Structure 1
Amino acid sequence: MADTSLNPYVRAQQSFKEAVETLGLEPAVYEILKQPMRTFEVAVPFIRDDGNLQVFTGYRVQHNDALGPTKGGLRFHPNVNLDEVKALAMWMTVKCALLELPYGGGKGGIACDVDQLSEREIERLSREYIRAINLVIGPDKDIPAPDVSTNPQIMAWMVDEYSRIRGENTFGLITGKPLVIGGSRGRVEATGRGLVFATRQLAKELGIEFEKARVAVQGFGNVGSVAAAISHELGATVVAVSDKDGGLYNAGGINIPDLLEYKRTHRALKGYPKAEPISNQELLELPVDILFPAALENQITADNAKNIRAKIVGEGANGPTTPEADAILFDKGVMVVPDVLGNAGGVTVSYFEWVQNQTRFYWSEEEVNHRLEEYMSRAMAEMHRMHERYGVTLRKAAYLVATERVASAMRVRGWLK
């Protein structure tokens, strides 16, 4: 018999089941949440540059819309499959409900390798995908956004195609767009900034002064570099950072603006003269207050969790902590800001973008950042209260908060009898 424990769809179902049972909710809540309400699989034919026709398989899954239209990213990747997209849509339901966004979870993608496609082919593929799903998406129905191997330019092509089909500009269809056609200020930095806001709120709940904290950041891409910069800006001492080639350590603190300028010039962290080199593994085990794993999945495992000395682990990456490591850290008293909240700054500012599109009134970056802090801090405070009430990890507390909120919406709408 095949091992289903690693199937993301099965794991998402199990998480909802545990949440419903812990909260003592009606069994019907799980029966509704255990599967998407709508699942679409579409053929996406397009013409290659050589004139030949190729057909890829595309997906769009809408998990639950009790709280509002579904919302979730689009990924272009060879390994995209239906079970993965279903699980991602279910996790988006949790993320949106946790942040009190008026959305349910959605997700989509195309099973393709964009590295094998020219820019013109990617544009044609993007437009054909929107043509294939245009009847099931819309600003008040299902709102896509960029995800793995997609970007603002691809979103621009998609919203243009949808607008052509509908005969009117419909910028609220998609978020994560370029600023000039309705994108939001602050969107690029939102995930890293939101991670810091959520972690700072948890530090406050635990009686840790973020401004005096020692911080290590694994991963110096968009999320990690922003998290490091915001932490430095708020007064924390960032003692270590790393990228795929290794890390840097300075016990007295690294000047992050100076390091960012070095990276801009040298295109790498390696060789920075004001810190000593360390490995990614050594960075994870440093004696710091806050550790931000913002690189790859499965970085903290059963093998190294016992060596983690941080008081708080703020997950910027997707799945950087394995379930086994999660249990070890919890037993040690290490609090983990789960990825479902840790990297939710992106979808939160996507919501702000959608609001701005719908009202035709656009906000300053200062206002976007202020509202982001409000949403992230509130969600963390609610998760921490649920954690204390049930004695569970913050990851499980996130499911409890979200499931309770979605169940309440389904109940008042008359879905539960």
Structure 2
Amino acid sequence: MSDAPLLSLTWTDDVTGRRGFLVVDRLVRGVCSGGLRMREGCTLAEVTGLARGMSLKEALHYDPGAAYVPLGGAKGGIDCDPRDPRAYGMLVRYLRAMRPYVESCWTTGEDLGLTQDLVDRAAAEAGLVSSVQAVYPLLDDARAARARLADAFAVEVDGIGLDELVGGCGVAESVLTALDRAGVPYAGTRVALQGLGTMGGATARFLTRAGLTVVAVADVRGTIAHPDGLDVEALLAARDGHGTVDRSALRPGDRELPGDAWLSAEAEVLVPAAVSYAIGVREQEHITARWIAEAANMPVLPEAEALLNARGVSVLPDVVVNSGTNAWWWWTLFGDVGADAQEAFEYTRRSMRGLTERVLNRAEGDGTTPRAAAHALAKERLRAVTERFGDGG
């Protein structure tokens, strides 16, 4: 893979003066995939790194026998607080400016700070058919595929949409695979999470239902902790649209701690599921966990990861751990899975377990890190895709 992306754009909003970005890392069959995030301080460098990560995530799920063929990687970003009253208008203007790319090559959807409902509403207002319309020409029956995806998005499990749950299911399966390889029982294994939004909340639910204990959860208001375990379902029910927990739902024994207290929680597994760059050199000094599962994109800085690895902390990389949501979209649209929760969870678990095992086995065999092993595997699969379909850029 070339170090330079295929396309890099910076857009300036004429109303607020704020900026938005689009980076296309590469195309496969003329199409690329990657979500659109909105956060205060979003940068072109951040979006460029995320786009490269999407190329790797797509390639890692290549299965020659599946209907879904991985796309290229891309990412969009808007430098704005999603809680800003002007945020929605800026989102519509951004999508209107990026309309030629969404129509021709860039398939996008929810990411940090944005829900799929919001992206869909803004896309319609911007004159788009769909945020993923660029992939329609690759489908055997676009009408049936769109109906299948719409049906899947309408599925709810215990009051939470299937689209919100599959990513957390994938994160949880990656964690469980690592525990199984190490011979560590689920019961008694403690987890601390940063973020209880879409990804973090679903991850917490699947891990607790597997028998693990969530002892700390951090949101924008601080960390909520209990050494014997938090009531995850009660916290999920008390969230607002941005994943912030209403503190009135806390039990008498639950403690409110500073925002960074989740890092030093007495837990075997840490799950950063919120912002990028959450764990740097200073933050890693407080970590005593054995595993870090990157449910967020790029939460562990490279210098911090090197130090963590040197002292035996295994970082399960984002390109593997949080790839389930993106893959589920395409498995559903291309027809590998139907609009059924049980089928989606089974397919996600099987795929994520197989991928995580391959990456961890390769890391052990090569004497390298899980991230290096994942990148090596992705490059091999990119070559296979290129040999089959040609170089799309």
2:153, 2:291 → 1: CA distance?
33
1:216, 1:78 → 2: CA distance?
25
Check the 8 A contact 1:177/1:183 in 2, yes or no: no
1:179, 1:145 → 2: CA distance?
13
Residue in structure 2 matched with residue 365 of structure 1 by the alignment: 341
- Determine if the alignment matches structure 1 residue 37 to structure 2 residue 16: no
Q: Which moved more, 1:54-63 or 1:147-156?
A: 54-63
Alignment of 1:22-101 (within 5 A): 30=1, 33-39=2-8, 60-66=22-28, 69-76=31-38, 82-100=44-62
Deviations 1:164-210 (A, max 9, x none): 9xx9xx6969x999975773641112332221111111111222223
2:164, 2:146 → 1: CA distance?
8
- Structure 1 residue matching 2:76: 3-state secondary structure: strand
Check the 8 A contact 1:211/1:235 in 2, yes or no: yes
Number of aligned positions between the proteins: 365
2:272, 2:177 → 1: CA distance?
18
The CA deviation at 1:314 is: 1.2
1:326 to 305, 308, 323: 305
1:218, 1:154 → 2: CA distance?
24
The CA deviation at 1:63 is: 2.2
1:286, 1:406 → 2: CA distance?
39
What is the TM-score with the length of structure 2 in the denominator? 0.77
1:90, 1:200 → 2: CA distance?
27
* Paired AA for residue 74 in structure 1: L
- Determine if the alignment matches structure 1 residue 386 to structure 2 residue 362: yes
The CA deviation at 1:387 is: 0.6
Q: Which has the larger radius of gyration?
A: 1
The CA deviation at 1:285 is: 2.0
Check the 8 A contact 1:156/1:177 in 2, yes or no: no
Residue in structure 1 matched with residue 129 of structure 2 by the alignment: 163
Deviations 1:129-180 (A, max 9, x none): 354435523xxxx42222344432322442683339xx9xx6969x999975
* Paired AA for residue 323 in structure 1: P
Unmatched 5+ residue regions in structure 2? 63-68, 156-161
Residue identity over aligned pairs, in percent, reads 25
Root-mean-square deviation (Å):
3.9
Unmatched 5+ residue regions in structure 1? 1-29, 49-53
Alignment of 1:11-410 (within 5 A): 30=1, 33-39=2-8, 60-66=22-28, 69-76=31-38, 82-100=44-62, 102-109=70-77, 115=84, 117=86, 119=88, 121=89, 124-125=92-93, 128-129=96-97, 131-133=99-101, 136-137=104-105, 142-151=106-115, 152-158=117-123, 161-163=127-129, 183=153, 185=155, 186-261=162-237, 267-268=246-247, 271-356=250-335, 362-410=338-386
What is the TM-score with the length of structure 1 in the denominator? 0.73
2:94, 2:147 → 1: CA distance?
14
1:414, 1:217 → 2: CA distance?
41
Q: Which moved more, 1:263-272 or 1:232-241?
A: 263-272
The CA deviation at 1:291 is: 1.8
